[in-house]
């Protein structure tokens, strides 16, 4: 069993706000790791973009950690169950095939990055729709917009409009 398989199984069972926040934090951290891995191996405009995306994912982690701490202090992490699991959709990301380092192309890196951003956007939008008014709903709505902007920027910078047109 790979770490991705284990995470996928855990994601499928995430139903409380605390579970969802922990899953989102772990997903953002995995995205940070992905962007850093490839930024170290590349140069130029793509490297600069991957570094910027990595920094954004860390900022997202900080926002999610802050909300989790705030909700934990208010004893609200288990208060509102989520009506449907998000794990299956987040898990789809973990099923993406690994890139072969010996034969990787700029297009492949950009497509995987765009797929990460697309999936996160969809999940955050769904969560924003399902949650009651409050800080969690506001944060997930904000993050959905951020992920959409990241994906659109990838498409614009690398002349791949098809990856930026999924809103």
pLDDT tens readout for residues 11-65: 455 578 888 888 889 889 988 988 898 888 888 888 888 899 999 999 999 999 9
Beta strands per DSSP E along the chain: none
Report yes or no on whether pTM surpasses 0.85.
Answer: no
The pLDDT score that the predictor gives to residue 102 is 64
pLDDT tens readout for residues 59-75: 999 999 999 999 888 87
In order of 2, 105, 126, 128, the CA distances from 143 in angstroms are 28, 28, 11, 9
So where are the chain's domains? 3-163
For the purposes of burial, counting CB atoms within 10 Å of the CB of 158, is it exposed (0-12), middle (13-18) or buried (19 or more)?
Answer: buried
What CATH code would you report for 3-163? 1.20.1260.10
Higher pLDDT pick, 57 / 156: 57
Region 126-152: what's the mean pLDDT? 90
């Amino acid at each position: 069993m790979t770490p991705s398989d284990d995470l996928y199984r855990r994601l499928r069972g995430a139903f409380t706000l605390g579970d969802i926040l922990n899953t989102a934090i772990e997903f953002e951290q995995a995205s940070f790791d992905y962007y850093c891995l490839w930024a170290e191996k590349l140069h130029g405009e793509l490297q600069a973009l991957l570094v910027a995306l990595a920094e954004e994912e860390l900022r997202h982690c900080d926002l999610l950690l802050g909300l989790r701490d705030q909700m934990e202090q208010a004893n609200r992490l288990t208060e509102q169950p989520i009506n449907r699991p998000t794990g299956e959709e987040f898990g789809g990301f973990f099923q993406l095939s690994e890139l072969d380092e010996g034969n990787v192309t700029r297009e492949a890196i950009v497509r995987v990055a765009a797929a990460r951003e697309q999936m996160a956007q969809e999940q955050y939008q769904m969560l924003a729709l399902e949650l009651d008014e409050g800080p969690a709903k506001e944060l997930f709505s904000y993050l959905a917009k951020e992920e959409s902007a990241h994906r659109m920027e990838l498409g614009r910078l690398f002349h791949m409009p098809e990856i930026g047109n999924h809103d």
